[in-house]
Structure 1
């Protein structure tokens, strides 16, 4: 496909995702800003963590998607408009992207991408959500790719939004936006907010301590 065709198809995909989210976000049960609990303790960041090789390669191809701007806020201030934008993008991406493994998609065990061809696995969903949310005005620095152990005991990628109402999780397994400690996941590591790097979360599972950024 020609580069112009790629740009056109990506633009159409983003428009479709946003429209799909607008049609479905209002259907989310209990997903109101007022229903969110007050900000509580955050998962502890305890030193550096080894980056995922596929993330390193993604950042080489798409440096702007990994860049950290220290002038951006570290947290998102939630307002009704911002909350609706988050729900719209989260549900829109989950509803439009077809899940597929990297082996099926690319012929390799692990590759990070933006799912702009309409297919992808867990990290691809979350990378596209972050791109759309950043285009909608949310600070990229406050949206950190995060590795967890899921309910099956397997590695899984989610998008952690650091907000004034606590750390919230966007996930392709559910369209509910949940506080981190209500996901049932074990939190292993996330992208740093101060450098193109990763920090350890030490297997956090509940709101027990205050985060070290």
Structure 2
């Protein structure tokens, strides 16, 4: 098994945006005269606020691979059975191993699915393509953009399930809930129409 150190430098795909964490509001409660604030817990799903422009490379992607930008299946989230969870994990690991990381040039940000080399958006789109072919509905498979803890632009696949939004990321083989990724979320595809993007 080969080990890859994946540098994720996808800043060109992310427009500057105000980041909304999506975390809930904590309520103070009084116990024995002392005020305690319980830990803040996020919701299971990312909450979109309004329509926004899609990432720069997305329009070209839809023109070149239009079948990947069409709605398929009902607008729903996936019931996360053990088999479905294993399928997500397998796709994440397989694509992370199969694609050799290659940063787009500073002048181009070409989004592609089904490639042998590419950057973060290409990993995310390839994972989405594999799951669509396996019969998962497009409404549950959304590309999202974010910034890493170091401020680098990034793209991942967010899968909407009965147990929350799960993230398939080329930086790790572990499928994580959206709030456990240390990403600062920017925008995401709409569940109703893959061509429409929403601010987070």
Mapped to 1, the partners of 2:46 and 2:135 lie a distance apart of 25
Question: Secondary structure of the residue that 2:186 maps to in structure 1?
Answer: strand
Mapped to 2, the partners of 1:89 and 1:173 lie a distance apart of 14
Partner of 1:209: none
Give the TM-score normalised by the residue count of structure 2. Answer: 0.75
Question: Secondary structure of the residue that 1:44 maps to in structure 2?
Answer: coil
Q: Tell which structure's C-alpha radius of gyration is larger.
A: 2
Number of residue pairs aligned between Structure 1 and Structure 2:
159
Spell out, residue by residue over 1:77-105, the C-alpha distance to the aligned partner (whole angstroms, 9 max, x if none). Answer: 111111111111100010111000112xx
Higher helix share: 1
Once the 2 structures are TM-superposed, how far is the Cα of residue 138 of structure 1 from its aligned partner?
1.3
Give matches, 1:41-56, under 5 Å: 41-56=44-59
Query: In the alignment, is the contact (CA less than 8 A) between 2:102 and 2:119 conserved in 1?
Result: yes
Partner of 1:200: 199
Mapped to 1, the partners of 2:137 and 2:81 lie a distance apart of 14
Give matches, 1:110-129, under 5 Å: 110-116=109-115, 118-129=116-127
Mapped to 2, the partners of 1:41 and 1:137 lie a distance apart of 23
Partner of 1:182: 180
Partner of 1:210: none
Mapped to 1, the partners of 2:44 and 2:84 lie a distance apart of 22
Mapped to 1, the partners of 2:55 and 2:84 lie a distance apart of 30
Q: Which runs of 5+ in 1 are unaligned?
A: 1-19, 21-38, 202-213
Given the alignment of the two structures, is residue 63 of structure 1 paired with residue 62 of structure 2, yes or no? no
Once the 2 structures are TM-superposed, how far is the Cα of residue 41 of structure 1 from its aligned partner?
3.6
Once the 2 structures are TM-superposed, how far is the Cα of residue 108 of structure 1 from its aligned partner?
3.9
Mapped to 2, the partners of 1:154 and 1:109 lie a distance apart of 17
Query: In the alignment, is the contact (CA less than 8 A) between 2:52 and 2:199 conserved in 1?
Result: yes
